[in-house]
Amino acid sequence: MNLVDLMLKIDRRIIYLVLAVVVILPLIIPSVQHVRVMPPVEKLYNAVDTIPVDKVLMIDFDYDPQTQPELEPMALAILRHAFKKRIKVLALSLYVQPLGLAKAALDQVVGEFNAEAKSRADSIIYGRDYIFLGWQPPPLVPILGMGESITNVYKKDYYGNQTDTLPLMKRVKNYNQVGLLICISSGDPPLWWVGYAQNRFGLKVGVGCTAVSASDYYPYLQTGQFSGLMVGMKGAAEYEELVETRLAIYKHRKASTALPSLTYAHLVMMIFIIIGNIGYFIKRRKK
Amino acid sequence: MTRTLPLILVFIFGILGIIPFVVPHPVVQNSDEFLRNDLLRILAAFALVLGLGSLLRVHFDKIQHRRENWEYSWVLLITFFVTSIIGLFGGVSGTGPLPTKIGNFPFDIQTIYLHVEVPLGATMFALLSFFMASAAYRSFRARSAEATLLLISAFVVMLGILPLGNQISPHLPSFAQWIMDVPNVAGKRGIAFGIALGSLATALKILLGIERSWLGGGE
């Protein structure tokens, strides 16, 4: 087998091995990679930052274990931002799968803040500062229903409390008291929020999505239907950058730590594609 | 009648679903709220039971007739029943009547989810990157002008989203962003309009009973 054939027929196991090495090594020796913040993420950050005092931030956790590495850092960064600015949070999921991950993210960030709190006023208290509404099937029912009444749709929260007895829900009736909804999702839910909640009730929608679904959402960002967009690991790292530089929150930056792995993996893929193409052109010229 | 009744129901409820978007009258809005909040949830509950019943029937049948990979059906059934019992009687975090802790070993639903389902799901998805890398190497060839353009765009976007892109040139991320904002949006919008018009036409055909394939069976 000559060199050209080798270039065209690299054993897939070699590709797997090289990719595994470049992904695993930066994770074993972690380093935070700083990124340049792009306009879509800046827009989302500003949308959260300018939520009026009398309104709440609603977060739709719609990521599952498969997309957790890409989307969970977004959720953590947004929660840190909201709690730092004392913005009240309503959390929910449109699917049953993300519930456990949503709970874990909420518990982690609430724990971080409460570990540093000096008084009850400083603390993040369930029912006063945030509520986890949980899950109500099928997805379109809560989206449309909350336009009329949130407590009618979610009569009980995730933990079984009557929602209308929780202090925060005394002043939150429906979307009129929601300043922004952020949907962190790997599927279609952002489009449902626009199609049903925004078109009918005027709800502002921000989105965090996986890198592969980004191209589907740019049209909505351009028209202003999305108040901002975070795309994949890079988008999450950009939000982490803003949270650190503007709010001085120095916590573990999951996405920024994963970026070196992402960088080297992309480079390896590009190198293999280039090798394959060089081999292809040499062979075509010989013919 | 078995085919006429579903067609009538689809027509009535389809129209009832459209009217509240254009008629703000309280009577219409309230009946719409009842349909969405109560009736739809009851239907969803039936669908859930139907789906679970169907799943169990398929796997019992697989075991009974020793079909291909029937052993895995046991894994599904056992885990299904075990987690269902823990979830139904043990509560979310072990707060139910069923004890979900042996000494320091918890096995409530949240623990099972975080320590079993999350790693398994993440592993399955992580394998994708290896297949994608291998497939991209084998099939991403600059065979024509269009393919070359696609290849160059892909490289620019890939480099542009990486921190490395900004180090190569501060214009690279901006150019990648422009590709996503302009050519990508132009293409996506065209596709979206096509899908929307197609969906509208199909929805009308279903509502009016012209399209009946969803009923199953022959004409």
Q: How far apart are CA A20 and CA A261, in angstroms?
A: 10
pLDDT at B190 over 60: yes
Determine the pLDDT at residue B208.
92
Task: Pick the more confident residue, B215 or B175.
Answer: B175
CB contact under 8 A, B125 and A65: yes
Distance from CA of B54 to the nearest CA of A (A): 19
Please report which confidence band the pLDDT of residue A277 belongs to, taking 50, 70 and 90 as the band edges.
Answer: very high
Q: Which residue of A has its CA nearest to B191?
A: A216
pLDDT in tens, B73-88: 999 999 999 999 998 8
Write out the two tokens for B197. 């018009």
Please report which confidence band the pLDDT of residue B103 belongs to, taking 50, 70 and 90 as the band edges.
Answer: confident
Q: How confident is the model over B45-49, as a mean pLDDT?
A: 90
Determine the pLDDT at residue A5.
83
pLDDT at A287 over 80: no
Q: What is the mean pLDDT of chain A?
A: 93
pLDDT at A146 over 90: yes
| DSSP secondary structure letters along A173-214 | -SGGGEEEEEEEESSSHHHHIIIIIIHHH---EEEEE-GGGH
Contacts of A35 in chain B (CB under 8 A): 163, 166
pLDDT in tens, B109-118: 888 888 998 8
Contacts of A68 in chain B (CB under 8 A): 118, 121-122
Determine the pLDDT at residue A33.
81
Q: Which residue of B has its CA nearest to A136?
A: B41
Please report which confidence band the pLDDT of residue B69 belongs to, taking 50, 70 and 90 as the band edges.
Answer: very high
List A residues 57-76 in contact with B (Cβ-Cβ < 8 A). 64-69
pLDDT at B1 over 70: yes
Q: How confident is the model over B198-218, as a mean pLDDT?
A: 88
Determine the pLDDT at residue B44.
85
In this complex, the residue of A39, A216, A232 whose CB is nearest that of residue B188 is: A216
Q: How confident is the model over A223-234, as a mean pLDDT?
A: 95
Determine the pLDDT at residue A60.
98
Q: What is the mean pLDDT of chain B?
A: 90
Please report which confidence band the pLDDT of residue B218 belongs to, taking 50, 70 and 90 as the band edges.
Answer: low
Distance from CA of B77 to the nearest CA of A (A): 19
Mutate to test the interface with B, among A273, A274, A281, A285 (most CBs of B within 10 A): A273
Determine the pLDDT at residue B99.
87
| Whole-number Cα distances in Å, A71 to A67, A130, A202 | 6, 20, 26
Provide the 10 A C-beta neighbour count for residue A83: 21
Determine the pLDDT at residue A284.
87
Highest mean pLDDT among A89-93, A116-120, B107-111: A89-93
Which residues does A43 contact at the CB level (< 8 Å), separation at least 6? Answer: A221, A227, A228, A229
Write out the two tokens for A92. 């929910």
pLDDT in tens, A201-212: 999 999 999 998
Determine the pLDDT at residue A265.
93
Q: Give percent above pLDDT 70 in chain A.
A: 100
Q: Which residue of B has its CA nearest to A40?
A: B177
Find the range with the poorest average confidence among A180-184, B29-33, B193-197: B29-33
pLDDT in tens, A148-170: 899 999 999 999 899 999 999 99
Determine the pLDDT at residue B146.
93
DSSP 8-class letter at A101: H
pLDDT in tens, B167-179: 899 999 999 999 9
| Whole-number Cα distances in Å, B75 to B53, B55, B108 | 17, 13, 19
| DSSP secondary structure letters along A134-146 | EE-SSTHHHHHHT
pLDDT at A91 over 90: yes
CB contact under 8 A, B184 and A136: no
Q: Give percent above pLDDT 70 in chain B.
A: 99
Tell whether A254 lies on the interface with B, counting CB pairs under 8 A.
Answer: no
CB contact under 8 A, A137 and B48: yes
Find the range with the poorest average confidence among A134-143, A262-271, B49-58: A134-143
Distance from CA of B191 to the nearest CA of A (A): 10
Q: Which residue of A has its CA nearest to B35?
A: A141
CB contact under 8 A, B132 and A277: no
